[in-house]
Amino acid sequence: MNYTEVTEYVESLQGLGIVPGLSNITNLCEKLGNPQKELSFVHIAGTNGKGSVLAFVSTILKTAGYKTGRYISPTIFEYRERIQINGRMISKADLCRLMETVKNACDALVQEGAPHPTPFEVETALAFLYFKEKNCDIVVLETGMGGAEDATNLIENTLVCALVSISLDHMGILGDTLKKIATQKAGIIKNGCHVVSAPQDKEAARVIEEKCREKKAYLTFVDLNGLKKKKSTLSKQCFSYGTYKDLEISLIGRYQTENAAIAVEVIQALAKKGYQVSEKALRKGFLETQWPGRFDLLLKKPIFIADGAHNRDGAKRLAECIEFYFTNRRIIYIMGMLRDKEQEEVIQATYPFASQILTVPTKGGRGTSSYELAQKVQQYHENVTALDSVEEAVELSLLMADKDTVIIAFGSLSFLGQLMTVVKNRSEIRSDSHGK
């Protein structure tokens, strides 16, 4: 297969959707020789913060000298982002070669009368093959959705399981109560592993504690009393946690210090499993961690932020950041959201801070037109403009902004990658023209 054939094949599978359960991925990985059985994992589940914790932990492990695989979804810029080793994407050659192997296994399953694996199951199996082939010391793995019935939960060798903040999301699949959702997320806890959890609502905490007792897993909750936020600017943050004083991170969202505290606990838990990380490597790894699209500063003049807030908890965190960094500033929003996200709740949490809201369309079967989204926003805010494209929204927002205006683009990650590319290209053209 060449790269075009790979993208066409993956596109052809989209109609299979999401099928919860482990039978498909079990059948597929058996055909491939069960590569996941020869790997060790940090497995991450939860609602908001999975990717940030993954970025912190995998960067710190890489800095400490471990060959570290990372598997993420969704991606922002390119398909290959989802499978990385030491921060480098899988090569096109490796992706094409391994996709052919996985496709042949899928075809064999279908001939035997089994269902064709979904796109996520295909990608997960391919990631396991790649990480095994490259002899990764450890793999940091993020669930796609939920936990218990997520394809990534096929793994057995979970050293540390991390549970970030659990809130209401994907309720059509995971359940309509916090208890049901927490039960799904806690389903990744394996016998005897070390579990690190963010502070949780009582209901979710009880579910996690019960699951840990059942699996004889050691549980650590992040202690927010031990987290001291020292300084937050639009370039870095400084905080202390536990015995670590004045740690610095380059991710600027206020909530990122809590994700970093989870990462500290994960690294300490891994030390008990034989993965030693020096304080120097921890500090260096924190500073080097990048995670695009999460309260991400794209421009300084005017300030232009991109954030992936697409559910009520994410919107609440974004609102806290706006209040902290941008009190009494004129703010323009660019919003784009998928149909199955909590549009109403996100609008309610964020609209009071905006002077102007621009809506953009999101693509695909789950997409929402800018006009549809604008109608919902108009119930709360009078200054709303629906635009036909991301390019148009970026152009208009920059025309409307003076030097003190803040532009914040947020919502579904599906449009943020395109927006970030448009902003980057535009700023490069501007700096080129200024340089001439």
Confirm if 51 and 180 have CB atoms less than 8 A apart: no
Which of 184-188, 251-255, 424-428 has the least mean pLDDT? 424-428
> Both tokens of residue 237?
């943050």
Average pLDDT over residues 130-146: 94
> Both tokens of residue 112?
């035997």
- In angstroms, rounded to a whole number, what is the distance separating the alpha carbons of residues 86 and 65? 9
- In angstroms, rounded to a whole number, what is the distance separating the alpha carbons of residues 281 and 60? 6
- In angstroms, rounded to a whole number, what is the distance separating the alpha carbons of residues 90 and 373? 36
Confirm if 379 and 404 have CB atoms less than 8 A apart: no
DSSP H or E segment with residue 237: strand 237-241
Query: Where residue 428 falls among pLDDT bands split at 50, 70, 90?
Result: low
Average pLDDT over residues 255-267: 96
Query: Where residue 172 falls among pLDDT bands split at 50, 70, 90?
Result: very low
- In angstroms, rounded to a whole number, what is the distance separating the alpha carbons of residues 250 and 290? 7
User: Looking at domain 296-435, does it have CATH number 3.30.70.260?
Assistant: no
CATH topology assigned to domain 3-288? UDP-N-acetylmuramoyl-L-alanine:D-glutamate ligase (3.40.1190)
Residues 6+ apart with CB under 8 A from 325: 232, 234
- In angstroms, rounded to a whole number, what is the distance separating the alpha carbons of residues 214 and 109? 34
- In angstroms, rounded to a whole number, what is the distance separating the alpha carbons of residues 393 and 386? 9
Confirm if 97 and 327 have CB atoms less than 8 A apart: no
- Determine the angle formed by the axes of helices 92-111 and 3-12, rounding to 10 degrees: 40
Confirm if 148 and 173 have CB atoms less than 8 A apart: no
Helix (H, G, I), strand (E, B) or coil at 139: strand
Predicted confidence at residue 191, as pLDDT, reads 94
Q: What tens digit of pLDDT does each residue of 303-339 get? A: 999 998 888 888 999 999 999 999 999 999 999 998 8
| CATH 3.90.190.20 domain position(s) in the chain | 296-435
- In angstroms, rounded to a whole number, what is the distance separating the alpha carbons of residues 432 and 156? 52
Predicted confidence at residue 176, as pLDDT, reads 66
Mean pLDDT of the chain, nearest integer? 92
| CATH 3.40.1190.10 domain position(s) in the chain | 3-288
> Both tokens of residue 62?
């890489």
Identity of residue 133: E
Smallest CA-to-CA distance from 61 within 262, 277, 259 is with: 277
Peptide bond into 361 cis (omega under 30): no
- Burial class from Cβ neighbours inside 10 Å (0-12, 13-18, 19+) for residue 10 reads middle
Smallest CA-to-CA distance from 290 within 264, 256, 267 is with: 256
Q: What tens digit of pLDDT does each residue of 373-424 get? A: 999 999 999 999 999 999 999 999 999 999 899 999 999 887 888 999 999 8
Identity of residue 79: Y
Q: What tens digit of pLDDT does each residue of 75-96 get? A: 888 899 999 999 999 999 999 9
Average pLDDT over residues 109-130: 96
- In angstroms, rounded to a whole number, what is the distance separating the alpha carbons of residues 190 and 194? 9
Q: Does the pTM exceed 0.95?
A: no
Q: What tens digit of pLDDT does each residue of 149-166 get? A: 999 999 999 999 999 988
Smallest CA-to-CA distance from 83 within 122, 31, 34, 26 is with: 122
Residue 420 dihedral angles phi and psi, to the nearest 5°:
-65, -35
Query: Where residue 436 falls among pLDDT bands split at 50, 70, 90?
Result: very low
Identity of residue 231: K
Helix (H, G, I), strand (E, B) or coil at 88: strand
Confirm if 293 and 416 have CB atoms less than 8 A apart: yes
Confirm if 275 and 68 have CB atoms less than 8 A apart: no
